[in-house]
Amino acid sequence: MWSEIDILKIAAIILSLMVAIIGHEIMHGYVAYRYGDDTAKDAGRLSINPIVHVDPIGTIVVPLLLYISGAPFLFGWAKPVPVNIRTVIYNGGYKAAVAVALAGVSYNFLLAVAASLVLGFFTQPNSLFEAFIGLFLMYSVIYNVVLGVFNLWPFPPLDGANALRYISMQFRWQPVIDLLNKIEPIGMILLIIVIATPLSQWFFMPAMWMIDLLLR
């Protein structure tokens, strides 16, 4: 039988994860829109309505399986927001493309810091509502940091690889571009290998440091 705290915890996990994942995708489309690309806006993907962003596997199944299996952290993804990067580059150059690539990660890190600052006011809750807010803020710190660090990994199609590609194109680092093109077809395989092996401890170490700092 679940207690009230168990129910609050699950609700806080779901809400914080949804806000982290969906907001991440919206920011990609919003920054692209600021550089003249209407693709996401015309597709209705700048909406905060979660239904238009939910990916059944990435937003529901994967986080649920991780939670049931007792994984030390949860992560997932929403449907990628469509972006016409050629329009972005035409209007703002490669710096604009980098801004679009890192928009979601920037959102996650800023949200984690904001949640950490507000969390101090809810460390001693006086009601179930305050307890829920405290849990939501705590999980917002954790999941936004994990999602932000994960997306900075330099494996296509993650944001870190996209940003590295556009930086390399700006400075004409052809060897880096060639390397990214070479590993792009196996990018997802590399991600699975990292996540499913002890390598994940090294790749997620920056996330653990940041979480410890923000929740200290």
Q: How many CB atoms lie within 10 A of CB 216?
A: 6
- pLDDT at residue number 159: 96
User: Among residues 18, 37, 102, which one has the least CA distance to residue 10?
Assistant: 18
User: What is the predicted pLDDT for the residue at 102?
Assistant: 98
Q: Whole-prediction pTM value?
A: 0.90
Specify the pLDDT at position 73: 65
pLDDT value, residue 48 = 87
Distances (CA, A) of 103 to 23, 27, 83, 178: 10, 6, 12, 24
Low-confidence ranges of the chain (pLDDT < 50): none
